[in-house]
């Protein structure tokens, strides 16, 4: 049978075709007016996409590079920082802060749960210089309450750094209103292009902190990058093709918002929310349990396989039968225990319904759970779509018939 290759992973995500073409055509030099025009436009668009007035800087790096930048630029050895963690990416904050000699306090929740604002509050004190957290922890599929945690830091000198690498485009943020000092995104996520670019939006008080922060930095020097970005330049050779692709992706999101990039961002988040809800309802109808039922992210849905089934088998069947790459549990503790399916970026209704169909078939090969038939998961997903799209149609009808 014909089998297409498809990614349903929380990064890399499926590529936007127009961005692929832009990438293929990106035959320009980075010390030219052409590039400066392109780069200035992309930086401004990303600022709108993030939804902030803060300056944006960008690196040719993975998201981890931008995470490192927000440690090395904002801390000095011995600084007390608080890491909010409930999964593999939270743990990365701890490793990073330790690598730079910080005095790391950790506030954690078990995998699949979210850290509550109360837990964070209990650990806060005047001497905490920075709080590091994820918006969505894609290793477990949980969403943290960024707004509530940000509210705890209002009128304090503690900075808030949010890794929103899988959060941007899947979660609504009011970056400036809530007071997120650094928010981090990556290219291979909701913006639908390949890995290799990371970006940060940085608040004025974070820029000010850098003046006294003593940790060493060179490639990831945010202030140097900001100065060059203002001229449409990057400090070192930029990932030109990815920047051209990102420009194209921003245009696509702008089109989703009918010419308004901020509206397009909202539509992209709503789309991910809908796809995620389809998947969650399907999983429940197929008598499986969600791994993060209380605060599920729209970036990725984590599902616990039926009793006695290793999720590695489910991942393998998806690949072998349908050419579809889904994610296993991340790390030795989680591998085999959950499987994860992404909704961030270039996924639509048809992709999602197809994934639910494939999930039913995969379960069918292993053996469908008791009292489950083909179509149960699909029906549940269909009802979500009909409700969400029906509401959107009604809302539109109201607007056009006032």
Q: Does 267 bind a second copy (CB under 8 A)?
A: yes
Contact 37, 214 (CB under 8 A): no
Among 4, 31, 258, 371, binds a second copy (CB under 8 A): 4
Among 99, 230, 392, 395, binds a second copy (CB under 8 A): 392
Site map 284..323 versus a second copy, x via CB under 8 A = -------------------------------------xxx
Give the total of residues touching a second copy (CB under 8 A): 45
Among 294, 331, 374, 395, binds a second copy (CB under 8 A): 374
Nearest residue to 137 via CA among 361, 275, 250, 302: 302
| DSSP state letter for 368 | P
Q: Does 382 bind a second copy (CB under 8 A)?
A: yes
Choose one: 29-37, 89-97, 332-340, 344-352; the region binding a second copy (CB under 8 A).
Answer: 344-352
Q: Does 145 bind a second copy (CB under 8 A)?
A: no
Q: Does 375 bind a second copy (CB under 8 A)?
A: yes
Contact 340, 263 (CB under 8 A): no
Choose one: 72-80, 134-142, 157-165, 265-273; the region binding a second copy (CB under 8 A).
Answer: 265-273
Site map 207..246 versus a second copy, x via CB under 8 A = ----------------------------------------
Name the minimum Å distance from CB 260 to a second copy. Answer: 15
Q: Does 349 bind a second copy (CB under 8 A)?
A: yes
- Rounded distance between C-alpha atoms, residue 18 and residue 193, angstroms: 10
Pick 50 or 378: Cβ nearer a second copy: 378
Please, what is the angle between helix 261-285 and helix 240-256, to 10°? 80
- Rounded distance between C-alpha atoms, residue 82 and residue 90, angstroms: 11
Among 34, 208, 348, 367, binds a second copy (CB under 8 A): 348
Pick 66 or 191: Cβ nearer a second copy: 191
- Tokens 């990365």 found at: 92
Run of H or E residues at 165 = none
Token pair of 63 as six digits? 């998201």
- Rounded distance between C-alpha atoms, residue 118 and residue 328, angstroms: 31
Q: Does 324 bind a second copy (CB under 8 A)?
A: yes
Run of H or E residues at 290 = strand 289-290
Q: Does 176 bind a second copy (CB under 8 A)?
A: no
Buried-state track 365-401, b at ≥16 Cβ within 10 A, e below 16: eeebeeebeeebbbebbbebbeebeeeeeeeeeeeee
Number of CB atoms found within 10 A of residue 25's CB: 12
Site map 5..24 versus a second copy, x via CB under 8 A = -x-----------------x
- Rounded distance between C-alpha atoms, residue 259 and residue 391, angstroms: 22
Q: Does 361 bind a second copy (CB under 8 A)?
A: yes
Choose one: 44-52, 56-64, 290-298, 369-377; the region binding a second copy (CB under 8 A).
Answer: 369-377
Name the minimum Å distance from CB 151 to a second copy. Answer: 31
- Listed in sequence order, the DSSP H helices in 220-293 are 222-229, 240-256, 261-285
Cβ neighbours of residue 11 closer than 8 Å, sequence gap 6 or more: 138, 165, 166, 186, 188, 189, 195, 342, 344
Contact 385, 393 (CB under 8 A): no
Name the minimum Å distance from CB 307 to a second copy. Answer: 22
Q: Does 346 bind a second copy (CB under 8 A)?
A: yes
Pick 102 or 353: Cβ nearer a second copy: 353
Q: Give just the sign of the alpha carbon dihedral 239, 241, 242, 248.
A: positive
- Site of interaction with a second copy (CB under 8 A): 1-4, 6, 24, 256, 267-268, 270-271, 274, 321-324, 346-351, 353-355, 357-358, 360-361, 364-365, 373-376, 378-379, 381-383, 385-386, 389, 392-393
């Amino acid at each position: 049978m014909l089998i297409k290759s498809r990614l349903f992973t929380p990064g890399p995500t499926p590529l936007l075709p127009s961005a692929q073409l832009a990438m293929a055509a990106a035959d320009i030099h980075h010390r030219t007016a052409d590039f400066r025009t392109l780069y200035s436009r992309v930086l401004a668009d990303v600022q709108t996409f993030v939804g902030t007035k803060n300056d944006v800087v960008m690196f040719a790096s993975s998201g981890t590079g931008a995470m490192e930048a927000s440690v090395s630029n904002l801390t000095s050895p011995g600084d007390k920082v608080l890491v909010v963690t409930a999964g593999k990416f939270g743990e990365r904050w701890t490793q990073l802060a330790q690598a730079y000699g910080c005095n790391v306090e950790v506030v954690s929740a078990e995998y699949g749960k979210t850290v509550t604002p109360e837990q964070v509050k209990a650990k806060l004190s005047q001497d905490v210089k920075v709080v590091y957290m994820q918006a969505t922890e894609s290793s477990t599929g949980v969403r943290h309450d960024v707004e509530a945690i940000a509210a705890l830091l209002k009128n304090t000198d503690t900075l808030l750094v949010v890794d929103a690498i899988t959060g941007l485009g899947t979660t609504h943020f009011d970056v400036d209103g809530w007071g997120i000092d650094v928010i981090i995104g990556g290219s291979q996520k909701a913006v639908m292009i390949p890995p290799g670019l990371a970006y940060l939006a940085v608040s004025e008080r974070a820029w000010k902190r850098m003046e006294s922060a003593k940790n060493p930095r060179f490639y990831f020097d945010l202030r140097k990058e900001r100065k060059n970005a203002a001229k449409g330049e990057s400090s070192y050779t930029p990932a030109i093709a990815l920047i051209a692709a990102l420009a194209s992706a921003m245009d696509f999101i702008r089109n989703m918002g009918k010419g308004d990039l901020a509206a397009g961002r909202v539509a992209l988040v709503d789309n991910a929310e809908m796809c995620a809800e389809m998947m969650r309802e399907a999983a429940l109808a197929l008598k499986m349990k969600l791994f993060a039922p209380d605060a599920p992210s729209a970036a990725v849905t984590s599902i616990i396989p039926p009793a006695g089934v290793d999720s590695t088998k489910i991942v393998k069947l998806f690949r072998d039968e349908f050419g579809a790459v889904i994610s296993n549990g991340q790390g030795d503790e989680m591998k085999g225990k959950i499987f994860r399916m992404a909704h961030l970026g270039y996924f639509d209704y048809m992709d999602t319904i197809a994934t639910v169909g494939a999930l039913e078939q995969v379960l069918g090969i292993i053996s469908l759970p008791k009292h489950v038939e083909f179509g149960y998961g699909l029906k549940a997903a269909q009802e979500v779509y009909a409700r969400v799209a029906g509401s959107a149609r009604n809302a539109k009808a109201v607007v056009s018939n006032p």
